[in-house]
Structure formats: C-alpha cells, structure tokens
Amino acid sequence: MTNVDQALAAIPGFSGAGVELQLSDGPTNASYLLALSGAQYVLRLDKPGARELGLNRRNEKQVLAALAAAGLAPAPLFFDLSEGILVRHYLPGRSWTQEDLANAGQLRRLARLLHELHAVTPVGIAFDPVRAARRYARQLQDVDCTEIVQRVEKLAAQLSKLPQSLVLCHNDLVCQNILEGDSLGLIDWEYAAVGDRFFDLAVVLQHHGLGEEMSRIFLTSYLGRNARVSELKRLSLQRDFYQCLLDLWRLRVERVR
C-alpha cells in the first residue's frame, strides 16, 4: 500500500498538500482530507484488500466519468489504477443516520435521487452477485458459506424468471454513503455497476431494517405509482439476496483484516 507522502509526491500539483485528518480506514482503503491553496480534497489509497475483495477500479473510473457528466458526482482529479490512488474534490455535508431513514420525507428525496441515478445511461461492467458470492465462499472455505451460496443461487434462479431492466446501480447504499450537503448526494462508488434497480432499493431497505410502511413509501416514491405484484416480489427476493451477500461479505472482511 502506498503511503500518504509517496502518493502526494506522485500526484501533479499536490506535493504541497497538507493532511487535515484521516476520514476512514476500512478493509479496502484509507482516505484522507487534504488542504491545498484554500481548497479541500479527498485522497483515497487502496489496501491489498481492494483487490482481494474484487473491486474493479477501472470500472469505477468509467462510472465516475458518466456520473460527473450527469451531475451526480465530482469527476476524479487524479486516478492511478495501478497504484490505487484517487483524488477528488471534498464534498462538505453530513452522512445520513438511521433517523433520516425513519423520516418519510427524507426517504422520498432518496427515492427521487435513485430514480435520477437509474436514468443515467448504463456504463461499465455488469454486477454479477452470484459470482461475487461464490468468490467469497471460495476464499472462506466454510461450510456455512456453502449453504449461503446455495441460497443465493436459488434466489438468482427465481429472479431470472421476473421482468427486469438493467441500470447503473450504486450497490452500496448504506447511510455513510448518503450525503446531506447543499443537495442530497451519494459518495463512494467503488461497487457501482450495471444491474437490477431493485437491488439498489433492497440495499436501502434491508441494510437498515426498514419495515413495511417505510418500504411502501420508499418504493411508491421511486416508482411514482403503486408497485405491481411482480415488482413487490422482485424487491422481496432482492432483500433476501442482499442479506446473503452481506453475511458473506462481513465474514470475508473479517479475514482480510
């Protein structure tokens, strides 16, 4: 892993930047708030876990270019794929909390934002959750993981029988990645890929344990109408699907740490 000083020396124009604080230190990367000439930036440095967990930085770069063109994310100022270095403008604001997700008005705002995201022309690789589940299980070599993968495969077979349209998805819509700033926005696009829109919706609902009423408000706001039976079925299956992936991912991250 490249250290901060090495990274700044390699980025044109950033050798004089100062590190104000460390923003995060996760299993795949560490990020830092930089100050330079009165402006603030975010520096992200990959750890070995980024590759081990299957992150595709080339795809992320392509996705970020499309999102920047749509006004949904800042374009990277520097992106070194081989060294795992990213610099972007810092977006001031606060991450959402569970209280935001318990607010019907906030949920409606998020639903509208996701509708806008999913209208962006899809670019990049297709998200293959079954492949991801198999990779995690293969790395873990655990009997319990094998059972989860079998569940994933059954859910995938059921989902394949329902109508779907592929869109550009964020795929990691946890509170920390929903930013309340000058406007509502999303950050941390490293898992973004082309996939089923209902997977994005399922992450919001399942990860945060939202109940029936808030789920109905969220889905109705996203669709602009009442959901069809097939859509409710798809969302339910994707919630189960996401929970399986989350269980596997958490086990894998513990090994990476």
Residue with tokens 């899809």: 122
Strand order in the sheet with 94-95: 94-95, 178-180, 184-186
Q: How far apart are CA 245 and CA 239, in angstroms?
A: 10
Q: Is 190 exposed, middle or buried (0-12, 13-18, 19+ CB in 10 A)?
A: buried
Instruction: Give the range of the structural domain holding residue 252, as residue numbers without chain letter.
Output: 94-256
The reported pLDDT for the residue numbered 68 is 97
Tokens standing for 226?
């009442």
Tally of domains in the chain = 2
Query: Do residues 24 and 51 share a domain?
Result: yes
pTM, two decimals, is: 0.92
pLDDT (tens digit per residue) in 121-174: 999 999 988 988 888 888 787 777 888 999 999 999 999 998 888 999 999 999
* Coil vs helix vs strand at 9: helix
Query: Do residues 169 and 56 share a domain?
Result: no
Helix axes 129-140, 229-256, angle to 10 degrees: 30
Query: Do residues 36 and 139 share a domain?
Result: no
Closest of 32, 51, 28 to residue 41, by C-alpha = 32
CATH code of the domain in which 186 resides: 3.90.1200.10
Q: How far apart are CA 90 and CA 235, in angstroms?
A: 34
The reported pLDDT for the residue numbered 129 is 86
Query: Do residues 60 and 115 share a domain?
Result: no
CATH code of the domain in which 61 resides: 3.30.200.20
Looking at 30, 55, 89, which one is the last position of a domain?
Answer: 89
Query: Other C-beta atoms within 10 Å of 124: how many?
Result: 19
User: What are the counts of helices (DSSP H) followed by strands (DSSP E) for the chain?
Assistant: 10, 10
The reported pLDDT for the residue numbered 146 is 86
Looking at 60, 89, 118, which one is the last position of a domain?
Answer: 89
Q: How far apart are the first and last CA of the chain?
A: 14
Instruction: Provide the strand spans (E) within the chain.
Output: 18-25, 29-36, 39-46, 78-80, 85-89, 94-95, 166-169, 178-180, 184-186, 193-196
Residue with tokens 């592929």: 166
Q: Per residue of the chain (257 residues), give pLDDT as tens.
A: 679 999 999 999 999 999 999 999 988 899 999 999 999 999 999 998 888 777 899 999 999 999 999 999 999 999 999 999 999 999 999 999 999 999 999 999 999 999 999 999 999 999 988 988 888 888 787 777 888 999 999 999 999 998 888 999 999 999 999 999 999 999 999 999 999 999 999 999 999 999 999 999 999 999 999 999 999 999 999 999 999 999 998 887 776 55
